[in-house]
């Protein structure tokens, strides 16, 4: 037997709005259309869904059960409809989210995409590391700009390299002597500012930074975790100390006299990647990245 999906939607709206009139308003149809649709559905199913024998609106036991079944069906249909709209392997809008501090690479990626897909609309926003993959998996957005290390334990996820981050350590000018060398006794009193990341590999960038500082015999009072590179830069300016910072990110010129990169620190290079679930995005990214 074939069922009309619209009748199920009307039924759900009747239950959720607790009446035929508000359901009609929600769907911009007449109350009669809603009432007749529910009657026909009851006839098809051979069961009463709405108890009309009382003055108060009441959903029957069968109606309650059907409501929960139909909600799943409608949700699946909406998801199916969204997927079908992408069957031509094209996107009208790409939602790009990036970890805080990754705006440099996200903007570069957006420029490449716009240059080679002029009709493509782009939406950019920041994302917290702890929730980023979960929200990507749920379809809250399409692409995450992050480190390749975020992929280590994730299945059914695709990625493409879009750039390289060259990490170093920023220090306050007061931590250096006249020769530009580190005042180890001064840095020992100061904190080390790091981003609040969860390490996904044993050799993540923050662990390597700590190992390099130990080999250079540079101590610090404690480690303070922050949410962004901008926050780290601000704290180095205000409180001195040291902070991890990618050299691709510009330092405001007004701070040039107060901030220096830690001398003799080996650069740590990490791939910056675009992470996504839909394989159709592979073609879009490849066309833009290879053509740059």
DSSP secondary structure string, 118-135? TT-EEEEEEE-HHHHHHH
Instruction: Identify the pLDDT of residue 144.
Output: 93
pTM of the model: 0.59
Instruction: Identify the pLDDT of residue 143.
Output: 92
Read off the DSSP letter of residue 240.
Answer: -
Other CB atoms within a 10 A radius of the CB of residue 165 amount to 21
Read off the DSSP letter of residue 52.
Answer: -
SS3 state of residue 78? helix
Helix axes 20-27, 31-45, angle to 10 degrees: 110
Q: Which residues contact 64 (CB under 8 A, 6 or more apart)?
A: none
Using CB atoms within 10 Å of the CB of residue 19, give its burial: 0 to 12 exposed, 13 to 18 middle, 19+ buried. middle
Higher-pLDDT residue of 36 and 208 is 36
Q: How confident is the model at residue 219 (pLDDT cuts 50, 70, 90)?
A: confident
E strands within the chain? Answer: 50-51, 58-59, 93-99, 121-127, 143-147, 158-172, 192-195, 223-226, 242-246, 259-261, 268-276
Instruction: Identify the pLDDT of residue 251.
Output: 76
Percent with pLDDT over 90 in the chain = 11
What is the C-alpha separation between 100 and 106, in angstroms, rounded?
10
Percent with pLDDT over 70 in the chain = 87
Size of the chain in residues? 292
Q: Please, which residues bridge with residue 121 across strands?
A: 93
Q: How confident is the model at residue 200 (pLDDT cuts 50, 70, 90)?
A: very low
What is the C-alpha separation between 283 and 116, in angstroms, rounded?
12
The mean pLDDT value for 209-216 works out to 86
Instruction: Identify the pLDDT of residue 75.
Output: 80
Higher-pLDDT residue of 245 and 91 is 245
For the cut 60, the answer to whether the pLDDT of residue 291 exceeds it is no
Q: Find out whether 271 and 161 touch, Cβ atoms under 8 Å.
A: yes
């Amino acid at each position: 037997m074939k069922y009309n999906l619209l009748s199920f939607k009307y039924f759900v709206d009747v239950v959720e709005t607790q009446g035929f009139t508000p359901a009609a308003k929600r769907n911009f149809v007449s109350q009669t259309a809603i009432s007749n649709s529910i009657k026909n559905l009851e006839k098809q199913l051979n069961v009463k869904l709405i108890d009309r024998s009382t003055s108060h609106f009441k959903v029957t036991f069968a109606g309650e059960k059907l409501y929960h079944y139909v909600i799943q069906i409608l949700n699946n249909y909406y998801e199916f409809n969204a997927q079908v709209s992408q069957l031509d392997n094209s996107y009208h809008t790409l939602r790009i989210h990036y970890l805080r501090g990754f705006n440099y690479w996200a903007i570069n990626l957006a420029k490449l995409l716009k240059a080679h897909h002029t009709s493509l609309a782009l939406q950019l926003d920041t994302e917290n590391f702890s929730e980023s993959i979960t929200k990507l998996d749920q379809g809250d957005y399409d692409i995450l700009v992050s480190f390749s290390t975020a992929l280590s334990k994730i299945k059914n996820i695709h990625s493409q390299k879009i750039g390289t981050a060259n990490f170093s350590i920023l220090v306050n000018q007061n931590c250096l002597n006249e020769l530009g060398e580190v005042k180890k006794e001064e840095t020992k009193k100061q904190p080390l500012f790091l981003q609040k990341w969860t390490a996904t590999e044993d050799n993540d960038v923050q662990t390597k930074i700590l190992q390099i500082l130990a080999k250079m015999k540079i101590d610090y009072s404690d480690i303070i975790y922050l949410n962004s590179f901008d926050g780290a830069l601000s704290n180095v300016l205000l409180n001195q100390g040291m902070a991890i910072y990618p050299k691709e990110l510009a330092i405001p010129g007004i701070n040039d006299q107060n901030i220096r990169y830690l001398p003799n620190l080996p650069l740590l290079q990490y791939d910056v990647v675009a992470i996504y679930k839909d394989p159709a995005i592979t073609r879009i990214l490849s066309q833009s990245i290879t053509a740059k």
